[in-house]
Chain A
Amino acid sequence: MNVDRETVEGVLFALPYLLVFSVFLLYPLLKGLRMSLYDWNPIFPSQSEFIWFQNYVRMFNDPVFWTSVKNTFYFVVLTVPPLVVLGLLLALGVNREVKGQRFLRAVFFSPYILTVSVVALVWMEIFAPQYGLLNYYLELFVASAPAWLSSYLFAMPAVAIATIWWTLGFNFVILFSARQNVPERLYEAAKLDGASNWRMLRDITIPQMKPALVFVTIVQFIASFQIFGQVYIMTGGGPGNSTQTLVMYLYEIAFQQHEFGYAAAVGYFLFAVLITVSLANYFLLGGDQ
């Protein structure tokens, strides 16, 4: 009797979430897999034609797709290492007993609460070619400066700079708290042995912070790999296809060209890459310990 009652209660308590979860997460996930095998008709879905793996074949033969894959990885390379390294440096710096620790923490974290449109619009002002802030100082000190967002070479780095400003605070906060959790006695013991600062960093701080560093790297990779808003607003994928990223391309295929089946296939490619990379990172970097 008792068991039955608990089962009924258990299911009742779980039901509301399970309902939204099944309808708005699981079902679309499976539906997307199915859609990716069809030449999907957005207006009359029942008239969609089953075409096996043709969407995937098309994807692998689509030069714009490969350009967007390349651009996405380029963006990942431009953002993930600096975000992890700078986040770590700031975390280690603020961890010392500096005056204004709270102020510094707030300053570094604050851009993270801004919405992507605010970030994009502010940096468009800064990167503006004629009256922009950055180019005025660059030309003052360095020489000529590029028209950042309309330059094949500099558009992606510009988006990366805005992104680093925007999201560094997340990594900083996580690494800062990880650093604070390293037991102080480890350093005291090392100091008694006359260890240098560098050795303490290498042999105590970094190994102790490893789980947090692995977490931050994986989360950052996943976030950077899915970059959309910044390019959508700042460059629209241009100039040419130079800032066309995977999600940006997926958006265009689906909502400008209305090729839902093909877009679903690209979505599944994205999914496969992210799962592979997450699992690889997790095991290679020993995140499972």
Chain B
Amino acid sequence: MTEQPTHRTEASNEDLESRLRTAGLYVALYGAAFLFLLPYLWMISTSLKPKGQLFSQVPHWIPSEITFAWYRQVLTQSLIVEWTINTFIIAVSTTVLVLVVDSLIAFSLTRLDWPGKNVVLAVIVASFMVPTYVNIVPLYTLVSELGLLNNYLAVILPLTAGPLGVFLLVQFFRDFPDEVEEAARLDGFSSFQIYTRLVLPLMKSPLTALALFTFVTSWNNFLWPLLVLQSNKLYTLPIGLVTLSNSQVFQPGLAMAATLIASLPLFIVFLMLQDYLINAIQIQGTTG
């Protein structure tokens, strides 16, 4: 066959090669996806295991008997429900505050003209360079001087001060059509009305992106709440989980049940709003 290279065999060789390549691609991609899913599967499997199998040297992917005892224990004997509520309160407040405060200043910087606004924007953009952890020591002394230790405001306000949202919204508000704004002004709209009735409704998608991004960031915030929240009852989920695995007699089943409960809310958000969330990350990538 190979000795008579006709067009047909060449074509089918190419065909075979491209098929092999496609097969290879699928094996690689789905293999990688499988590896990515393994930690989740192990998490679920461990959380459902009876005590006897938890420390077994041979992994039991499917427990001999399925038990919900760890879930019951976490829910009844720890503060995980309170921590979830705390985290939720903090994440929602942060998100609302960021949306309001950032959209107000972004509106001011793009749609209104006032002396010094370019300097203000430049300072905000430059503050991108400040890494989160540089500020923790002076911020901690400040928060403690203000008497905000053990107060949710101490967790919320530093996240609100971040420049990302302002930067993001400025990019979008700039593109708001001038004609629409001028027409509205001729109709007697005040700046505040233009902001609430025109800009906010038309800028829904960058605002949603910012909201999701802020919510997830706040929900997962770790070091800062660990420093400023000092009572068990006020903890957020990320720090609660760690104290849980430190304080009780160590049980993998308990730890995995707790991590699953803690991840569930964000997973639901993720499954419902996957496209928006990924979009938010992409926007961040293209504007950064």
Q: Spell out A's residues near B (CB within 8 Å).
A: 3, 6-7, 9-14, 16-18, 20-21, 23-29, 31-32, 35, 42, 45, 90, 93-94, 96, 98-100, 103-111, 113-118, 120-123, 125-126, 128, 130-131, 133, 136, 165, 170, 173-174, 177-178, 212, 215-216, 219, 222, 225-226, 228-229, 232-233, 247, 250-251, 254-255, 260, 263-264, 267-268, 270-271, 274-275, 278
- Minimum Cβ distance to chain A for residue B124 (Å): 7
A111/B101 in contact, CB under 8 A: no
- In Å, the complex CA distance between A17 and B161 comes to 7
Give B200-228 as 1s and 0s: 1 = Cβ < 8 Å from A's Cβ atoms.
00000000000000001001101100010
Q: Closest A-chain residue to B223, C-beta based?
A: A228
Q: Which residues of B contact A173 (CB under 8 A)?
A: 278, 281-282, 285
Which of the residues B25, B242, B285 comes within 8 Å of A233, measured between beta carbons? B242
Contact partners of B136 in chain A: CB under 8 A? 250-251, 254, 267
Verify B282–A177 contact, CB threshold 8 A.
yes
Most B-side CB within 10 Å, residue of A7, A12, A14, A216: A14
Taking a contact as CB atoms under 8 Å apart, the answer to whether B282 and A115 are in contact is no
Select A24's contact among B54, B132, B139, B166, beta carbons within 8 Å: B139
Chief secondary structure at chain B's binding surface: helix
Given the known interface contacts A18-B120, A28-B139, A267-B135, the answer about A93 and B129 at a Cβ–Cβ threshold of 8 Å is: no
Q: Which of A9, A90, A222, A278 contacts B32 (CB 8 A)?
A: A90
- How far is A174 from B138 in the complex, measured between Cα atoms in Å? 34
Q: Cβ of A130 and Cβ of B55 under 8 Å apart?
A: yes
Contact present for B29 and A93 (CB under 8 Å): yes
A45 touches B141 (CB 8 A): yes
Residues of B close to A114: CB separation below 8 A = 220, 263, 266
- Interface residues of chain B, those whose CB is within 8 Å of chain A, are 25-26, 28-30, 32-33, 36-39, 42-43, 46, 54-59, 100-102, 104-105, 107-109, 112-115, 117, 120, 123-124, 127, 129-142, 157-158, 160-163, 166, 191, 195, 216, 219-220, 222-223, 227, 237-239, 241-242, 245, 252, 255-256, 258-259, 262-263, 266-267, 269-270, 274, 277-278, 281-282, 284-286, 288
Query: In the complex, which residue of chain A has the Cβ closest to the Cβ of B288?
Result: A215
Picked from A25, A90, A178, the residue with its CB within 8 Å of the CB of B158 is A25
A117 adjacent to B105 (CB under 8 Å): no
> Closest 4 CB pairs between A and B?
A10-B114, A13-B108, A174-B285, A32-B138
> Is A31 within 8 A of B127, CB to CB?
no
Contacts of A133 in B (CB 8 A): 38, 42, 59
Q: 24 A-B pairs, CB-CB below 8 angstroms?
A: A11-B108, A20-B157, A20-B160, A21-B161, A25-B162, A27-B142, A32-B134, A32-B138, A35-B137, A35-B141, A104-B33, A114-B263, A115-B220, A117-B259, A117-B262, A121-B241, A122-B259, A131-B57, A165-B39, A212-B285, A233-B242, A260-B141, A267-B133, A267-B134
Across-interface contacts of A268 in B (CB, < 8 A):
134
Residue from the set B158, B161, B241, B242 with the largest chain A CB neighbour count within 10 Å = B161
A93 touches which of B25, B141, B269 (Cβ 8 Å): B25
Q: Which residues of A contact B123 (CB under 8 A)?
A: 26
Contact, CB under 8 Å: B36 / A107: yes
Contact (Cβ within 8 A) B288 A219: yes
In the complex where A35-B138, A113-B277, A122-B259 touch, is A228 in contact with B133 (Cβ < 8 A)? yes
| B5 shortest CB reach to chain A, Å | 18
Which residue of chain B has its CB nearest to the CB of A34? B138
Docked Cα-Cα span, A130 to B274, in Å, equals 38
B131→A271 contact, CB < 8 A:
yes
- In the complex, what distance in Å separates the CA atom of A136 from the CA atom of B135? 43
The answer to whether B262 touches A118, judged by C-beta atoms less than 8 angstroms apart, is: yes
Q: Are B131 and A16 in contact (CB under 8 A)?
A: no
Residue in A closest to B127 when the chains form the complex, CB atoms:
A25
Q: Judging by beta carbons under 8 Å apart, are B288 and A32 in contact? A: no
Docked pose: A273 CA to B88 CA in angstroms? 35
Instruction: Knowing A25-B158, A115-B237, A228-B133, say if A125 contacts B46 (CB, 8 Å).
Output: yes
Nearest-CB distance from A106 to chain B (Å)?
6
A13–B138 CB distance below 8 A: no
By the criterion CB–CB under 8 Å, are A24 and B160 in contact? yes
Q: Establish whether residues A42 and B141, one from each chain, have CB atoms under 8 Å apart when the complex forms.
A: yes
Given contacts A115-B220, A274-B131, whether A21 and B124 have CB atoms under 8 Å apart is yes
A278 / chain B contacts, CB cutoff of 8 Å = 129
